[in-house]
A and B are shown apart, each in its own frame.
Chain A
Amino acid sequence: MSFYTSASSLPPEYLLDYATGAAPEPVALAVATYLELNPHLQGSYHQLNALGGNLIEQTLPVDLTSTGLASVLARLENEQQERFQLANPVAAASRVPSTLQPYVGSDWDNLRWKSWMSGVEEYVIDTSRYGYRTSLLRISPGKAMPQHTHAGDELTVVLDGAYTDEAGLFGRGAIEIADSSVSHRPMADAVHGCVCLAVLSAPVQLTGMLGWVVNPFIHH
């Protein structure tokens, strides 16, 4: 038994937020996508749900009616039902995880990608009502994002190919969580490039020379 010590796996507090329903919708989307790509971790998620039930059974006042307990448990259950269904491992027919298909369809080649610099394309999934910027990013083989840091949290789930940055190698199914303490320059795999889901709670801050010029334009 160990913590998630790898830089490419989901920290337990994010899995807990997802299990309790406290994760904001865009973060829940990233976690659900991650779990779909890592089916061996779905057991950990179910354990957390069981823990919620146990905590409530152990600590609720004993005079609470059984209906009361049932309604709390039912509410916990319903919250999960309303959120993303945990999906089966991705069908070979599509590279797009089924969790994401309601947002982007079943083939990202059909999307209207916007190119905002050489080798970097973005397709925005509108989550502005949650105060988040959520998008698919497609980086051409060997190309890099500009060096940047973050005003808030950035969750990146690799859907295809791979990238490397200061923290290591992130392949399909890996997740990287970066905050203001992290400045990085993700570079796509030289052969396969990279497609990832990126969820940002606040705009990125470009830290290289380019940032001085571009930062005023990328804030949303």
Chain B
Amino acid sequence: MEAQQSARQIAAGLETLSDDQKSVLMMAFYEDKSHSEIAAQTGLPLGTVKSRIRLALSRLKVGLAQ
């Protein structure tokens, strides 16, 4: 039951992400790119990629320390 709630939460949260935040997650999950590969491919500084990932996961409330 908890897993279902969390799936709904995730789905709702995805709507609230910026395109930049969503695109790093898409590259991660669709293209199996690591955060350093995303930085290399997009030309973004590594720190920018890291902060977009952290902001996206924070907004989705997943993957962070409980």
Interface residues, chain A, with chain B CB atoms under 8 Å away: 1-4, 6, 9, 11-17, 19-24, 40-41, 43-45, 47-48, 50-56, 58-59, 76
**Residues on A with beta carbons closer than 8 Å to the beta carbon of B62:** 44, 47-48, 50-51
Contacts of B45-60 to chain A: CB distance below 8 A: 49-50, 53-54, 57-58, 60
CB–CB B64/A2 < 8 A: yes
CB–CB A43/B50 < 8 A: no
CB–CB A22/B63 < 8 A: no
Interface residues, chain B, with chain A CB atoms under 8 Å away: 3, 6-7, 10-11, 14, 25-26, 28-30, 32-35, 37, 49-50, 53-54, 57-58, 60-66
CB–CB A19/B64 < 8 A: no
Question: Beyond A9-B65, A16-B53, A41-B65, is A22–B33 a contact (Cβ under 8 Å)?
Answer: yes
CB–CB B34/A51 < 8 A: no
Question: Beyond A21-B32, A23-B34, is A44–B66 a contact (Cβ under 8 Å)?
Answer: yes
Please, which residue of chain A has its CB at the minimum distance from the CB of B33? A22
CB–CB A3/B54 < 8 A: yes
Please, which residue of chain B has its CB at the minimum distance from the CB of A43? B66
Taking the nearest CB of chain A, how far is it from the CB of B41, in angstroms?
12
Taking the nearest CB of chain A, how far is it from the CB of B8, in angstroms?
9
Q: How far is the CA of A58 from the CA of B30 in the complex (A)?
A: 12
A-B contacts, 13 listed (Cβ < 8 Å): A12-B53, A12-B54, A13-B49, A14-B35, A22-B34, A23-B34, A44-B66, A47-B10, A48-B62, A50-B62, A54-B7, A56-B29, A76-B29
